Chain A
Amino acid sequence: MAHQSPAEIDNPTFGERFNAVAAWPMRVLFGLLETPFRALQRILGIGRMPYIFLLPNLAFFGIFVIVPLIINFAFSVTGGDELFLNERPYVGGEQYSYLADCGSYLDPQSCREDRFWRGIYNTITFVFFQVAFMVLFSLVTALILNREIRGRGFFRAAFFFPVLLSPVVVALIWKWILLRDGVLNAGLTSIGFERILFFVDPTWSMFWAIFVSIWAHMGFYTLILLAGLQAIPPDLYEAAEMDGTKRERVFWRITLPLLWPNLLVVIVLALIKAVQIFDEVFVLTGGGPGTATQFIVQYIYTTGFANQVQNFGLAAAASVVLGVVLFVLTLVQLAVTRRKEDG
């Protein structure tokens, strides 16, 4: 570090003067807070002080997460279509038993609330394929972008760009591409193929719901994996190269094991996000054809808000079921993260 001359100390730069002025209000604030906090520390002891500092965040979390959760649960044990809890009759577990009333859980048609079960099965199908392909494509893309290829910076930005778009914009772009007179059908007919009505066929609709979702979110997961790949020490690859190890073996024995903690995080995050799928698919397919792409969150929204009789109780009960699933997935994520931290 270069020594400062006495002249430099006497004549601070503009930046130093600006910092001194900007820090002044903070110094005043800290000065004001010091006395009460010292008093508080004397009363509570230093061991309890962290809770005081956590309190504002906990209050925020409590008001905007815990309280709504409790209200949601309270709604799920009431009936009718009144908005205020005190005007709603208590019905106990009726909403839950209505949702669970099935001849066979494998056949949604045998259930009283068939759309709830179709929503569950559609969500399971979506999650299975979307997460599997999302992880696979993100991994492949990260591996490619980790290599010394021409235009690497451009490609990294290009793959990340859809993450920045609003889900509604993503869905509208793809809808214009896939409609009867959309760009894709115009291309198909121009080379002699028949027009395909993608949104009328359940398989095509599910395919495009999964595809568009992967397209929109892949960049985020690619970035996580790319960071993981760059953290792998290069000398391991050099040693493998000196030993004449084949590239496939290097991938399976070095890259994948060392990337595994990042991959697990990606899998769990993608899983949680996929279970919550709603906005993109709602705009893209409207849940159709029939109920082929109606997922659980759309069921909750429709039941609670889109019907003339707004069945908040049933929607809240379905939300609690979804919440339990997400809670389990979050526990898995926490366990995985902890294992990663423990090495």
Chain B
Amino acid sequence: MISRLNRLLVLGTAAMGLMVGTALAETELRITWYNDGNEGEVMRGILDRYEAVNPDVKVTLDVVPYKAILESLPVQLAAGEGPDMARVTDLGGLSEHYLDLRPHVSDPAYWETNFGPFLKWLRQPGDDSAISGFMTQLTVTGPYVNKTLFEQAGVELPGDGATWDDWAVAVREVADKLEIPIPMAWDRSGHRVSGPAISMGAKMFDADGNPALVDDGLKTMAGKLYDWHQDGTMPKELWGSVSGSQYLGANEDFANAQVAMYMSGSWQIPQFADKIGDAFDWWAVPAPCGPAACTGMPGGAALVALKTSEHPEEVGKLMDFLSSEEVLNEFYGKTLFIPGHLGLAANGVEFHTDDPRAKHALETFAAAVPGISPTAFDLQGYVYNRVMFNALISRLGEAIVGELTLDEAYDRMTQDVEQQIAEKERGG
């Protein structure tokens, strides 16, 4: 009896020792991640392969709501309690927390060659060399239309070079004929308004490069949005129904064929391919024009390494793996994301879809990239762009529901931007 007990004790101790030893040898890397579509699933598959060839590394993908990326992650990072890596969209705003990967990646020149224009979005002002991550997704804002509704209404789709006014007339005609509730919907997002505002001539910055949100171009676009909400072209439920800078999208209304035209962006493609399928023809169309340009806004999400990591070497190795052309080809191909890798963008990604609507949308948004206004790129790269987007969206929303006049809203936008940047700079 005693010898059996002893044997059990010895075996138990050995097993415990083995477990502790394995745990000590294993490095755990944590990635804070959010999903628009299937990218979490695709990334997990890729990470599983990485773990298989690197048994001493365990990578945990912490999937959180997008709101947590915007609101909780910055507080975590400021407190020094962040993960090793994160998928972020406030590219410049969080740059002070990014880890410079140059000492930890095998070939910094590869990063410069393939991610060069986007690396500067991740850098702090005055820095022109840090490498902190890569774009998991390049996005371009632009509209989708329900082509089936246009065909049923017998209304021609406005062609290349059509203005926002041309589209407004067309979608109203479709809605009137088919009695659909929402002729046109825009995401409640300052980022979404900025492209059309730049098309109308908005400069966004003064001659010294300081933010100058309100000018004639922005007023023209904001005035149109205001008018469209008053005459029923756009529903007040999106822009009017919540306060502040809260995001609201019309993706579900569009997928339910309640909307003739939906201003959003390329990240909706996988979701629409999945949700709408062939229920109707959803069609991406080029950005409508204004007197100054026909531009959307660039943007996207980046996977960045963070200073809070205790394993920079391992993070560098994982980043090398994830940013390789082969892995990114698979990632972009399976997620239907526009590549943020110049080599893949030039050679073309093999997208895993037979859906002609998704293919057309990908081609349309990819073709829009060369036509994006330099002002739009500057705005995307500006470290406090969310301050400008938030001021625009919140004050315009208040004007749309009648709390402010448009002129009062413009004054408040300027004041909000000045106050927040002054507060930031007071902190040093």
Chain B interface residues toward A at CB < 8 A = 70-71, 74-75, 78-79, 90, 93, 181, 236-237, 240-246, 248, 384, 386-387, 390, 397-398, 400-404, 408, 412, 415, 420-421, 423-424, 426-428
Contact = CB atoms under 8 A, between A and B. Distances in A.
Contacts of B403: 118, 290-292
Contact of B423 (A298, A302, A309): A309
Nearest to A311: B423
Given A288-B397, A291-B398, 4 more contacts: A84-B78, A180-B181, A290-B400, A306-B244
Contacts of B421: 309
B236 A200 contact: yes
Interface in A105-130: 109, 112, 114-115, 118
Contacts of A286: 241-243, 246, 248
Q: How large is the interface on A (under 10, 10 to 19, 20 to 34, 35 or more residues)?
A: 35 or more
Contacts of B423: 79-81, 309, 311, 313-314
Given A180-B181, A308-B90, A309-B387, A287 B242 contact: yes
A291 B242 CA distance: 7
A305 interface: yes
A286 B245 CA distance: 10
* Secondary structure dominating the interface of A: loop
B316 to A, nearest CB: 27
**In this complex, which of A115, A199, A288 has the most chain B Cβ atoms within 10 angstroms of its Cβ?**
A288
Nearest to B182: A180
A162 interface: no
Interface string A275-309: 00000000001111111111000100010011111
Nearest to A198: B241
A296 to B, nearest CB: 13
A87 interface: yes
B75 to A, nearest CB: 7
Nearest to A308: B386
B240 A308 contact: no
Contacts of A298: 243
A197 B241 CA distance: 9
A89 B428 contact: yes
Contact of B427 (A81, A197, A291, A314): A81
**In this complex, which of B79, B236, B245, B404 has the most chain A Cβ atoms within 10 angstroms of its Cβ?**
B236
A305 B401 contact: no
Contact of A83 (B79, B387, B415, B424): B79
Nearest to A180: B237
Contacts of B400: 290
Contact of A308 (B390, B402, B427): B390
30 contacts: A80-B424, A80-B428, A81-B423, A83-B75, A89-B428, A109-B404, A109-B408, A197-B237, A200-B241, A200-B401, A285-B242, A286-B241, A287-B246, A288-B241, A288-B242, A288-B401, A290-B243, A290-B398, A290-B402, A291-B244, A292-B403, A294-B244, A307-B386, A308-B384, A308-B390, A308-B420, A309-B384, A309-B420, A309-B423, A310-B74
Nearest to A83: B78
Contacts of A314: 423
A84 B75 CA distance: 11
Contacts of A309: 384, 387, 420-421, 423-424
Nearest to B391: A307
A79 B78 CA distance: 15
A153 B71 CA distance: 45
B74 A290 contact: no
A91 interface: yes
A202 B401 contact: yes
Contacts of B237: 180, 197, 199-200
Contacts of B71: 305-306
A290 B74 CA distance: 26
